[in-house]
Structure 1
Amino acid sequence: MNDRINRPVKAACLACRRGGPRRGPRQSAVESSPLPPQAAAIIHAPQSTPSLPDESTLTPVDSNLWSSATPFSSLGRNQDSNRPVKDVWSPPHQDSQGELQGPVLRVYTSEEEIQIAYYHFVHPCLPLLPPPPGSSLPQDNPHVFQPSHGLAGTVELSCLPYRPTSSLSLALSAILALIPPPHDRNQSEPCSVWLRRSYAQLFAQAALRMAEKEIEDFTGGWANSDGLVEGRDFHPQLPTQLHPILALTVLSVYDLCQCGNKSRMRMRANQAITTAMDYSLHQLDENATEAQRRAWWTAVIVMYHSSANNDSSPIISISDPRITTPYPKFDIQVKVSEPWSLLLKAQDAILSVCAVMRPLTAKSQNGSLALDLRERACRLDRHILSLAADCDHCELELGAAENDQVENLAALSIWKTACAMTHTARVKLHRYRAFSDIPIFLEKHCDLTFLKLDTFPSQTASLPAQPDLDSIFPFTQTESSIISLKSSLAISRALAGLPHSGLLPLRTAEMDEPRDSNAAGYTGSLPFFKCAAMQASYVLYMLVHRLRAALSSKRLSVCYPLLNHPEPVTEAQDAKRLIEELRNGAHSMIVCMKRDLIFEGIGGMIRDLDAAYFSLFPN
């Protein structure tokens, strides 16, 4: 099967059909290397890279969609219906010198370049590989590909200057292709988005085919455990037997972040786990290499996350006695494995919450509840609280050496994600009791209910009556509200502290080079844990509504448990102070989400978060 996607030329936008770079008098310094006719322009990207603007091609929310029966009846009404969301965070004016015109694509011309890009953009979020080889990490140096007029509307790997040689490098290229090239001024234009999306999908399809072939080739096991086949050595410590497992893990993340396809994410994650188990990666001892440990446990992390997203049981539990492979260790100042165990325990707690809450939320369908729900919920809450304390007490001694920075960010990322997931588990346990799952979003996100406009407001009739909840749940509505408040703000802080590629320091020689004032580089991450932001934002928005309703009705005493030492004389100011804290937490999560706008799978989340935020805080 040819690695190509045919598109009618007439379907491409004008910039795609025209092809070739536009060059003004100020851009003569940017030269492209000579290529055969009808090939493309390959431009070496400038070393200084501008920040990715916090914008997208998302369509505005229609204010007419919001019903007056919802707590957020004015959701979206305060937005200009002709003003897209991206205009709210318009990027600063940039000098046109060195900027690229027309649709362009980030490309790399060797396995080594892809590996370096992996450590800049993927490793800080998901450490699949051992630490980078060598004493220092080279700077990311992408090339820029621009289709010629003759190739407009056709997407083929043969058009690119280099085709990755393994399933892993192909899968990573699918992620990297989504990142706009440096100085791409048209990165949010439909044609640019289409070009990146099309090549990313092509890389993903090729990676899947290559992974299947590699699995067939490696059925002989670990006979050649060094596994470095000529032409496919991606990392000196990485056996090629691990390539398809890691590729399937990357494709699982790609399917969620870019495609928003939770079912396919789970399918790829389960493929990675079953392949790893076929290779006995789960039954290794203390002699297991760091590459083997990370291949197994990152696959488990993604598999657990896919199970939580699909509200299904994982194909293997972390408590399964067959698993003997030790956790990986971050080799910074001291070898640290604690963040890995914290994240896995947090994910396991989320799945436990799903199992406990499923009978309660399904009452209207089956009419039965678990008899031991009260005891199970109490026990699970205590367990999650213990995990939260462990996260707070986890102190990472980060290394100072230049090459330690990559591992520092990876360790910090796993730790912060563990904190966010732990508090997400607690929110999921208490959210239903605190707010009865009243819907506020237009689209379906995670396990949150959404507004079904054709049946609203009758859809709220299926919610259990308050006396029923009092008799079957071990916490009162007030207690669950307070717990949800604390955990949601903790999630906001954890997500704000997540590291990203923009935190990687420049080497001394690079710091001395002149840089554009806006050249901070792409600072996004892999948004595969962003359901935590949706859970926390839901709680914060609902509490803002509750506080404002109490303020307007002059019945603030009902909200006293949420306030800090309230008094009748100062209760209004106490409530407004809490509303401001809730606003800051919600805004922080929106900013965190918008850093990752290049991934189209979170577009619906951002649309709903923006609509809710501007409804509550129009100014």
Structure 2
Amino acid sequence: MVDAVPTEGGPALTASRPVRKKFAQPPVKLACLPCRASRTRCGGQDPCSNCVAKGRKCSYLPSKRGGPRKKKQKSSCSPEREASQGETQYMVDSSTDFGDSPGLFNQIDVLSLPGAGLRHLDYPHVGSLFQGFYVGEDSSSPLQMESMPSTISTRSCLVRTYGTESDILNAYYDFIHLYFPILPPRPSRQFEDRPLHCPVSSEPTSEPVMMYKPRSPLSLAISAVLALIPHPEDPEPSASVSVLVRRSYAHSFAQLANSMIEAECDLELSSTYPGQALSSMRPSVNRDRLHPSTPEDIETVLALLILSVYEYTQRGNLLKMRYRAGQALALALEKNLHSCNDNDHMSEARRRAWWMTYYCVLQGSIVSTTPPTIVINDPQFTTPYPNFDSDAEGWSILIQSQQVLVSATQYISDLNKSLATQSDLHYMFERMQQLDSWTTSVIAQTDVLSAPPAEPDFGDRRETTTARSIRAISRIKLSSAQIKTHRFRAFSDIPIFIKRHCDLSAANSANIPTEVPVKRASRVLGNQSISCTCSNLDQFQRAPSSEYPTPSDSSTSSDIHPYVPTWPQYPFASGFPYSPQQSAKICLRSALTISRLFEALPYPQPLSENGTARILATGQPLPRTMPSFSCCLMQSSYAMLMIFYKARVAKQLSSDSENELVRHATDPIVEELRLGLERIIAAISNYSLAFEALDGMRDEVHGAYQTAFSSTNV
């Protein structure tokens, strides 16, 4: 076979392509899961030689290649991973050569994508809807969706459902209000949590049987979330059958809520006299209020907000998440909630309805990395902020943190475009500095919190716990904004990162040296004082500009530090207002802050019959709810694993004489990263007890953690 080989400035020449025999034996038709994940050649035995040598469990999935074409059938992902595969199924071989192979980097890089790790119940054969938007061709994640198990136990199950509107409202304050305060404070003291004790059929084809049907779209939407929380008397809440039954009931509640919303939004005359419909008043809502201080007509808006979070955290559907938030926005604008300046006993409910709608619309933009559908500082939005009795500034800080995070998210998108075109970079550098200053100023506000009340606050009537939780969520969002603002600069000294994210190797090939400059390994991460722990992060020092020379400085750098190779910088790098070391320090501090604040978020505290707080029958704490900001967990994991990656490379590139110095400098940081990632995994695992879409996030982070820390230390 002859190929045409083009030459620079001349016609194509012909050259023979050598025929190479790649393998002495052809590859096996089916490789085991651990070998597939680590991209190593499998022998095809059961167990294979690789797994025997590494002491790991060898497991296979049936191959889908070859054979007759089969008609596609609907399937759904498994609600849990089999225990026998849990820790080894998605692990990249820990012996990966970091200097030559992108194995671990590929596991880390996908964590920064929009919708990273989300498991899609509505699209079981699709990974992330945004997979591959921001990475190169090798962007596949080792995680794959599983099909519905072929055999399911038919034992009776318990689902968390309630028998009255007041019980549903009480459960809302126990499980949802702490993290998503769409209603005013409790109208009465907290009382016993009373889920119905009605065993239900676990037959896959059986329709959910509801002992009580909630009366409003809001109580239906609340019931959809509550049904996902394991029943306190379920002995196996993580069993497949229990998860599938909870999924079925939750989705039935959500569909009923949507149907009632559609019915209440219909115009009476639209089907018979369309010309008169728009000039007529909407039909009045004829039902009792769920909350005595919340008008019935805004319950529809609040239901849509809960359903928006449900679509994201349970169904894994970003499109529907944004659609539900958009519906809520349209209704809120129609009801003039954005310019509501009254001051009566209903005003607090209207204010919360508007600003939580605003919050959810921006959240949809954040998780999907798309421009917001509203102007974040629109002068028409004049509704005052709501109020916590125990924290007058809490709502203002929450909204500001959301504005900062959506601006940082848009900055990432704009920076990618500027780097691709090599235009407007000076403007992007200015925006980076402005964003960092803005974020820092709002962070300073989150650190000041009024003292808790001296008198008992039964059932959080003064919303003390809720206000503190909202402050923690705000701080999490601000830390995530810092990571987004600085992550490109923090990791722009890693060649595979640069190639993956902006392909500058091709765009600037004439400016990249063929001989890589060298320097001491301790400088790869900053300087000698990088051996900080979380309690002393300020030991990071700003690196002088000469530490990261441009290609023209390579010869000088080689003479000064003749030991370990480092990476070239690109011509645009000098314009950034921060060095890679400064940005890496900010990312590290922010990531660890996120991990600690997620760990510190309160758990639900429903009351049992004897007045004590309930827990699950397994002894586990009840799952936190409404994790619409779970993308911050992925940002934190991404930053910590990338810093681990840099530390690992620093060790591998160091000489024998420097290895002990590098190890001493990086070991404290690696230990902080390990603990931080364990906190992140614990937080996602707690959420995933209720929300199935977050299973994928947990598995992505846990897989990368296992690869990094299972048998390899820096």
Settle same-fold status: TM greater than 0.5.
yes
Residue matched to 1:305: 363
For the residues of structure 2 that align with 1:458 and 1:206, how far apart are their CA atoms?
46
Please report how far the alpha carbon of residue 457 of structure 1 lies from its aligned counterpart in structure 2 after TM superposition.
12
Query: Which of 191, 200, 214 is 1:147 aligned to?
Result: 200
Task: Specify the structure having the higher radius of gyration (Cα).
Answer: 2
* Pair 143,569 (structure 1): closer, same or farther in 2 beyond 3 Å: same
Please report how far the alpha carbon of residue 425 of structure 1 lies from its aligned counterpart in structure 2 after TM superposition.
0.6
Residue matched to 2:668: 577
Contact 1:342 1:415 in 2 (8 A): yes
Residue matched to 1:615: 707
1:328 and 2:328 aligned: no
Query: Which of 93, 103, 120 is 2:174 aligned to?
Result: 120
Please report how far the alpha carbon of residue 177 of structure 1 lies from its aligned counterpart in structure 2 after TM superposition.
1.1
Alignment of 1:359-438 (within 5 A): 359-363=414-418, 366-395=421-450, 397-398=452-453, 400-404=456-460, 407-436=463-492
Alignment of 1:500-579 (within 5 A): 500-502=603-605, 509-511=610-612, 519=619, 522-554=622-654, 572-579=663-670
Residue matched to 2:229: 179
TM-superposition CA deviations, 1:396-419 (whole Å, max 9, x none):
535632132682222122100100
Please report how far the alpha carbon of residue 430 of structure 1 lies from its aligned counterpart in structure 2 after TM superposition.
0.6
Contact 2:418 2:425 in 1 (8 A): no
Residue identity opposite 1:394 in structure 2: L
Residue matched to 1:337: 392
SS at match of 2:187: coil
Contact 1:327 1:337 in 2 (8 A): no
Alignment of 1:101-116 (within 5 A): 102-116=156-170
For the residues of structure 1 that align with 2:155 and 2:504, how far apart are their CA atoms?
51
**Mean CA deviation greater in 290-299 or 358-367:** 358-367
For the residues of structure 2 that align with 1:477 and 1:408, how far apart are their CA atoms?
40
Residue matched to 2:405: 350
Residue matched to 2:59: none
* Pair 517,274 (structure 1): closer, same or farther in 2 beyond 3 Å: closer
For the residues of structure 1 that align with 2:400 and 2:355, how far apart are their CA atoms?
12
Q: TM-score, normalised by structure 1?
A: 0.74
Contact 1:119 1:132 in 2 (8 A): yes
Residue matched to 2:17: none
Please report how far the alpha carbon of residue 114 of structure 1 lies from its aligned counterpart in structure 2 after TM superposition.
1.0
For the residues of structure 2 that align with 1:383 and 1:506, how far apart are their CA atoms?
45
TM-superposition CA deviations, 1:567-610 (whole Å, max 9, x none):
x9976434211211111111111111111112111121111110
Contact 1:293 1:326 in 2 (8 A): yes
Please report how far the alpha carbon of residue 556 of structure 1 lies from its aligned counterpart in structure 2 after TM superposition.
12
For the residues of structure 1 that align with 2:637 and 2:456, how far apart are their CA atoms?
35
Contact 1:167 1:243 in 2 (8 A): yes
Identity of aligned residues (%): 32
Residue matched to 1:590: 681
1:473 and 2:576 aligned: yes
Residue identity opposite 1:109 in structure 2: G
Residue matched to 2:136: none
Unaligned stretches of 5+ residues in structure 1: 1-54, 77-83, 85-99, 441-448, 559-567
SS at match of 1:120: helix
Residue matched to 1:51: none
For the residues of structure 2 that align with 1:519 and 1:228, how far apart are their CA atoms?
43
SS at match of 2:447: helix
Please report how far the alpha carbon of residue 351 of structure 1 lies from its aligned counterpart in structure 2 after TM superposition.
2.0
Question: RMSD in angstroms over aligned alpha carbons?
Answer: 3.9
Q: TM-score, normalised by structure 2?
A: 0.64
For the residues of structure 1 that align with 2:238 and 2:427, how far apart are their CA atoms?
52
For the residues of structure 1 that align with 2:397 and 2:160, how far apart are their CA atoms?
35
Residue identity opposite 1:146 in structure 2: P
* Pair 320,437 (structure 1): closer, same or farther in 2 beyond 3 Å: farther
Query: Which of 297, 309, 319 is 1:253 aligned to?
Result: 309
For the residues of structure 1 that align with 2:174 and 2:695, how far apart are their CA atoms?
24
**Mean CA deviation greater in 267-276 or 307-316:** 307-316
Count how many residue pairs are aligned between Structure 1 and Structure 2: 510
1:317 and 2:369 aligned: no
Contact 1:544 1:582 in 2 (8 A): yes
Alignment of 1:24-43 (within 5 A): none
For the residues of structure 2 that align with 1:304 and 1:556, how far apart are their CA atoms?
51
Residue identity opposite 1:316 in structure 2: I
Contact 1:106 1:145 in 2 (8 A): no
Query: Which of 61, 72, 82 is 2:104 aligned to?
Result: 72
SS at match of 1:131: coil
* Pair 438,389 (structure 1): closer, same or farther in 2 beyond 3 Å: same
Please report how far the alpha carbon of residue 209 of structure 1 lies from its aligned counterpart in structure 2 after TM superposition.
1.6
Please report how far the alpha carbon of residue 236 of structure 1 lies from its aligned counterpart in structure 2 after TM superposition.
1.1
TM-superposition CA deviations, 1:236-271 (whole Å, max 9, x none):
111110111001000000001001111211111111
Query: Which of 250, 256, 260 is 1:210 aligned to?
Result: 260
* Pair 190,396 (structure 1): closer, same or farther in 2 beyond 3 Å: same
Residue identity opposite 1:144 in structure 2: H
SS at match of 2:681: helix
Residue identity opposite 2:363 in structure 1: H
SS at match of 1:146: coil
For the residues of structure 1 that align with 2:507 and 2:230, how far apart are their CA atoms?
45
For the residues of structure 1 that align with 2:705 and 2:493, how far apart are their CA atoms?
19
TM-superposition CA deviations, 1:92-124 (whole Å, max 9, x none):
xxxxxxxx9543322111111111111111111
Please report how far the alpha carbon of residue 295 of structure 1 lies from its aligned counterpart in structure 2 after TM superposition.
1.0
